[in-house]
């Protein structure tokens, strides 16, 4: 048994063991420090690389924005006016075009395709069943004639009947025929508009002339009473003048009818310019394109989607024959008629119809 003597000096073995432990600890500490240093260096390099990439991306984005700046904001195009909401003139034009007949023809044609589909499927299924029955009967008779074991024909027929896919008209034929019917209806709708454009023009001009005559009459009666066309209905009632009240009603009727006339002109312009499409509501004028924006908008896309549509091109000074001020664009019907009646009789322009909307007429 070894007795520990605290006064005795450490042995050489103990000194060597302590030295080796210290060396191992120092080596381990050095490796840890080196690893920590390497991790820090990698993190700094990664951050620097990320900073350079972000700056590079931002520089490219700023250059793209500078090269192709975002254009001014464009409001969405207004929807196509409906003839059904354009008063009596809209009803007269609808009766001339008779789109309701094309709607009916479209509905009946598509219904006929559906009925024929069912008939063809039923006939094909019946023919296939008769063929399988004949084949099964022949196989059974052949087997029994040779005194062989009869096959289970009935069970096989039942199983095959349930597993067999239903015979249908090829999808490309069904869809293609329906698309062709819709295309034909849309072409005929456009042809209907062009075919009666002169009659529509006459109806529109007659209504426009009548509206302007009523507006002038209302203006003159209100002027004689010492008020103008801007008088409100409350002011007319408070004035206790039946003549003024009647003139206000006449003026308001003229404003509403002028709006109907312009709705018909816009509808005709859109129909001639963009044509027709089939929607759930039937045959309708193709809707205006959706306005587009953004830094990557091309000039061609801007012209196609953001430029004024046919409806807008019929308004403003284009409502009149000859020259008219450009500031009329975007004005209300009340403001337009107020401008018109404020002119001298010889200076008042004639309204424009729809005959000149078809630029391909006679081509």
pLDDT digits (tens, 9 = 90+) for 147-204: 777 677 777 777 666 555 555 667 777 888 888 999 999 999 999 999 999 999 999 9
Please report whether residue 159 resides in a domain. yes
Distance CA 100, CA 106 (A): 10
Check residue 346 and report its DSSP letter.
Answer: G
Please report whether residue 162 resides in a domain. yes
pLDDT at 71: 53
pLDDT at 10: 66
pLDDT at 233: 75
What share of the chain has pLDDT > 90, as a percent? 34
Distance CA 357, CA 314 (A): 8
290 vs 344, which has greater pLDDT?
344
Please report whether residue 4 resides in a domain. no
> Given CA atoms 35, 36, 39, 44 in this order, what sign does their dihedral have?
negative
Please report whether residue 64 resides in a domain. no
Condensed to tens digits (0 to 9), the pLDDT of residues 29-71 reads: 666 666 676 676 776 777 777 777 778 877 776 666 555 544 5
Distance CA 358, CA 191 (A): 11
Please report whether residue 142 resides in a domain. yes
DSSP-derived 3-state class of residue 335: helix
Return all residues near 326 (Cβ < 8 A) that are at least 6 apart: 316, 317
pLDDT at 227: 86
Distance CA 171, CA 50 (A): 54
Cβ distance 233 to 203 under 8 Å? no
List, as own/partner pairs, every contact residues 152-160 make where C-beta atoms lie below 8 angstroms and the sequence separation is at least 24, other chains included: 157/132, 157/133, 160/132
Distance CA 150, CA 173 (A): 43
pLDDT at 164: 54
Cβ distance 314 to 266 under 8 Å? yes
Chain centre distance of CA 180: 22
183 vs 77, which has greater pLDDT?
183
Chain centre distance of CA 2: 100
Cβ distance 304 to 289 under 8 Å? yes
**Which of the four pLDDT bands, split at 50, 70 and 90, describes residue 281?**
confident
Please report whether residue 141 resides in a domain. yes
b/e map 286-310, b = 16+ CB within 10 Å = bebeeeeeeeeeeeeeeeebbeebb
Please report whether residue 77 resides in a domain. no
pLDDT at 136: 79
Backbone angles phi, psi at 290, to 5 degrees: -75, 140
pLDDT tops 70 at residue 205: yes
Number of domains in the chain: 1
Distance CA 333, CA 339 (A): 10
**Which of the four pLDDT bands, split at 50, 70 and 90, describes residue 109?**
very high
**Which of the four pLDDT bands, split at 50, 70 and 90, describes residue 213?**
very high
Return all residues near 321 (Cβ < 8 A) that are at least 6 apart: 349, 350, 351, 352
Check residue 211 and report its DSSP letter.
Answer: H
pLDDT at 209: 96
136 vs 3, which has greater pLDDT?
136
> Can you give the residue range of the structural domain that contains 296?
83-357
pLDDT tops 90 at residue 251: yes
Mean pLDDT of the chain: 81
Return all residues near 284 (Cβ < 8 A) that are at least 6 apart: 80, 276, 277, 278
Report yes or no on whether pTM surpasses 0.75.
Answer: no
Quickly count: other Cβ atoms within 10 Å of residue 125's Cβ. Answer: 15
Distance CA 252, CA 244 (A): 12
Cβ distance 193 to 269 under 8 Å? no
Q: Alpha helix (H) ranges present in 146-232?
A: 153-163, 171-195, 197-224
pLDDT tops 80 at residue 308: no
Please report whether residue 109 resides in a domain. yes
Mean pLDDT confidence for 270-280: 92
pLDDT at 69: 46
Best CA proximity match to 261, nearest among 17, 85, 125 = 85
Distance CA 219, CA 247 (A): 8
Number of Cα atoms under 13 Å in the Cβ half of residue 294:
7
Best CA proximity match to 265, nearest among 74, 32, 93, 38 = 93
């Amino acid at each position: 048994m070894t007795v520990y003597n605290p006064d005795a000096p450490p042995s050489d073995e103990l000194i060597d063991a302590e030295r080796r432990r210290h060396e191992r600890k120092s080596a381990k500490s050095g490796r840890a420090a080196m690893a920590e240093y390497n991790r820090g260096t990698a993190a700094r390099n990664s951050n620097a690389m990320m900073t350079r990439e972000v700056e590079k991306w931002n520089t490219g984005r700023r250059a793209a924005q500078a090269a192709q700046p975002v254009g001014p904001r464009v409001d969405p195009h207004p929807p196509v006016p409906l003839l059904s909401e354009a008063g009596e003139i809209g009803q007269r034009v609808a009766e001339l075009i008779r789109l309701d007949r094309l709607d009916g023809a479209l509905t009946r044609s598509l219904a006929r395709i559906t009925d024929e589909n069912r008939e063809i499927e039923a006939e094909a299924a019946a023919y296939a069943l008769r063929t399988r029955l004949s084949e099964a009967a022949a196989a059974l008779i052949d087997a029994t004639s040779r005194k062989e074991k009869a096959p289970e024909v009935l069970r096989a027929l039942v199983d095959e009947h349930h597993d067999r896919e239903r015979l249908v008209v090829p999808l490309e034929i069904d869809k293609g025929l329906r698309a062709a019917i819709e295309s034909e209806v849309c072409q005929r709708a456009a042809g209907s508009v062009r075919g009666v454009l002169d009659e529509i023009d006459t109806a529109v001009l007659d209504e426009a002339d009548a509206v302007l005559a009523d507006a002038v009459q209302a203006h003159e009666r209100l002027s004689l009473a010492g008020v103008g066309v801007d008088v409100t209905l409350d002011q007319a009632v408070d004035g206790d003048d039946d003549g003024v009240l009647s003139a206000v009603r006449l003026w308001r009727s003229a404003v509403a009818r002028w709006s109907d006339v312009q709705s018909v002109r816009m509808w005709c312009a859109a129909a001639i310019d963009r044509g027709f499409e089939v929607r759930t509501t039937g045959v309708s004028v193709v809707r205006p394109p959706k306005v587009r924006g953004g830094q990557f908008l091309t000039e061609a896309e801007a012209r196609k989607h953001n430029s004024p549509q046919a409806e807008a091109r019929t308004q403003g000074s284009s409502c009149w024959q000859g020259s008219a001020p450009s500031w009329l664009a975007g004005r209300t019907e009340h403001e337009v008629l107020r401008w018109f009646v404020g002119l001298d009789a010889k200076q008042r322009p004639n309204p424009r119809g729809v005959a000149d909307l078809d630029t391909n007429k006679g081509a």
